[in-house]
Amino acid sequence: MVSNSAPSTPRLLPSGGTLRGTVRVPGDKSISHRALLFGAIAEGETRIEGLLPAEDPLSTAACLRAMGVGVSAIEVGRTVTVQGVGLDGLSEPGDVLDCGNSGTTMRLMLGLLAGRSGRHFVLSGDRSLRGRPMRRVGAPLGEMGAQIHGRKGGNFAPLAVLGQPLRGATIHTPVASAQVKSAILLAALTANGETTVIEPAQSRDHSERMLKAFGADLEVQGEERNRVWVRPGSRLSGQSVVVPGDISSAAFWLVAAAITPGAELTVENVGLNPSRTGILEVLEQMGAAVSVHNRRDVAGEPVGDLQVRHGPLRAFEIGGDLIPRLVDEIPVLAVAACCAEGTSRIRDAAELRVKETDRLTVMARQLGAMGARITEYDDGMAVSGGVELHGAELDSETDHRVAMSLAVAARIARGDSTLHRPEAAAVSYPGFWDDLQQLGT
Ligand code: S3P
């Protein structure tokens, strides 16, 4: 877990050098959480290959174990097994469920637990998570009859869930959030009638794909695929899940190679679910040399290998329905924007303010320390390209994606940088620093 108080050693980020070779990023974080959670409420064993062995999925596994689910050790290269307890088999834990730094763990868990009648659960997490909005999940679950209580009208953890029988509902979510959508879908599995979730735009659809594969009676509807319908009553059965590499982790290498003179990288086995590939469209808009090879389908998710090399880049403009398809890649896209010709603009991205940190302010502050020219908007930022970055004293501010984005920026800066709290990267990519060393020349 990312500790908010433990002292950590700053990391020297040397300037210069190039990047060459082949890398495999660890398993997709979103798919890893879902494989553990759905395996837990299925009947029989679920086997998960390629599960992300990082702090966030470890938080999900620890919560499930505390409710009586057998989850085998999570280690690099090891198949993980989950002994499902069935839809109503989770037992009441004797202590607070610690979700660590993981918003996905807490939000999906709220949906999973809201309908566990007669049982009482308390969820908490680290300082960052205790400051993230949870009413966005509690309010729609409330429409289904859930009872979730917490600070500030149930918006902030610690949260208490008093398990209740739930009713089916038609719910319009105010934000395109896969965490909110997935929490409702999980609650809908044991409601007393059908549920439909309608999002303003489609968010990542890993839950829909995987729940169907586990046997849920679920349909994605609408031309924009932003409506999901669920009928309760189907039993879920344990599956074999293969987790592809995380495109949100691959994004650091894609941008690093695109902006670093002489760089040429291949990132193998990357998940290419269309609800996640916005980054590839932006890199194309920038004129980056990225190509996709060996496209294939692995256990219900599209996968491929990505090749990228350095080249000149143009500024980009992004907003609207594209944002949910690249929401986690915006910090590293801000780095790419610093190296492009012209001014890049990011709009409709106010969601970044409620991630592990306020990523708009934090990226503007940290890249600003390197000499970047960034103007923050309420819902995004403008980044002037063509400004030479210089080495600086940097801080991840405990955010994993900030840590890795700054590592990418530091290599092309003039002069070395130092990064405080680099260990944050372990939330989603524990081997990041080793991979950076291995690919650097
Ligand atoms: C996630 C959804 C996204 C993303 C997060 C993981 C998920 O959040 O930022 O890292 O696994 O469902 P929102 O759906 O809240 O935007």
pLDDT of 6 strictly over 70: no
pTM of the model: 0.97
Q: Distance between CA 33 and CA 42 in Å, rounded? A: 14
- Angle among Cα 111, 114, 118 to the nearest 5 degrees reads 155
Is residue 295 within 8 Å of residue 319, measured between CB atoms? no
Ramachandran angles phi, psi of 51, nearest 5°? -60, 140
What are the C-alpha distances in Å from 237 to residues 71, 90, 350, 399? 16, 15, 38, 36
328 is known as an active-site residue = yes
CA of 29 to the centre of ligand 1 (A): 9
Residue from 328, 395, 399, 435 carrying the catalytic annotation: 328
pLDDT of 215 strictly over 50: yes
Q: Fill in the amino acid letter for 391.
A: G
Show Cβ contacts of residue 318 under 8 Å, excluding neighbours closer than 6 positions: 278, 282, 326, 333, 345, 346, 347, 349
Q: Using the 8-state DSSP alphabet, how is residue 329 labeled?
A: G
Mutation probe of ligand 1 site: the residue of 327, 357, 400 with most atoms within 8 A of C-beta: 327
For range 300-313, the mean pLDDT: 97
> Average pLDDT of the chain?
97
For range 289-304, the mean pLDDT: 96
Ligand 1 lining (C-beta closer than 6 Å): 30, 33, 104, 177-179, 182, 203-204, 327-328, 351
The structural domains of the chain, ordered by start, are 11-27+244-439 (3.65.10.10), 29-242 (3.65.10.10)
Identify the residue whose C-alpha is closest to ligand 1 atom 9.
328
Q: Distance between CA 257 and CA 20 in Å, rounded? A: 8
For range 153-163, the mean pLDDT: 98
CA of 178 to the centre of ligand 1 (A): 6
The band of 441, judged by pLDDT with boundaries at 50, 70 and 90, is: confident
Ligand 1 atom at minimum distance from 327 CA: 9
Q: Distance between CA 269 and CA 29 in Å, rounded? A: 14
Ligand 1 atom at minimum distance from 248 CA: 10
Ligand 1 atom at minimum distance from 34 CA: 11
The band of 1, judged by pLDDT with boundaries at 50, 70 and 90, is: very low
Mutation probe of ligand 1 site: the residue of 204, 209, 428 with most atoms within 8 A of C-beta: 204
CA of 115 to the centre of ligand 1 (A): 22
For range 355-384, the mean pLDDT: 98
- Secondary structure (DSSP) of 390-419: B--EEE-TT-HHHHHHHHHHHHTSBS-EEE
CA of 274 to the centre of ligand 1 (A): 15
The band of 298, judged by pLDDT with boundaries at 50, 70 and 90, is: very high
Ligand 1 atom at minimum distance from 207 CA: 12
- pLDDT confidence of residue 259: 98
The band of 5, judged by pLDDT with boundaries at 50, 70 and 90, is: low
Q: Distance between CA 429 and CA 311 in Å, rounded? A: 26
Q: Using the 8-state DSSP alphabet, how is residue 57 labeled?
A: H
Strand order in the sheet with 289-298: 20-24, 264-271, 301-309, 289-298
CA of 129 to the centre of ligand 1 (A): 13
Q: Distance between CA 73 and CA 428 in Å, rounded? A: 17
For range 163-173, the mean pLDDT: 98
Q: Distance between CA 120 and CA 93 in Å, rounded? A: 8
For range 37-43, the mean pLDDT: 98
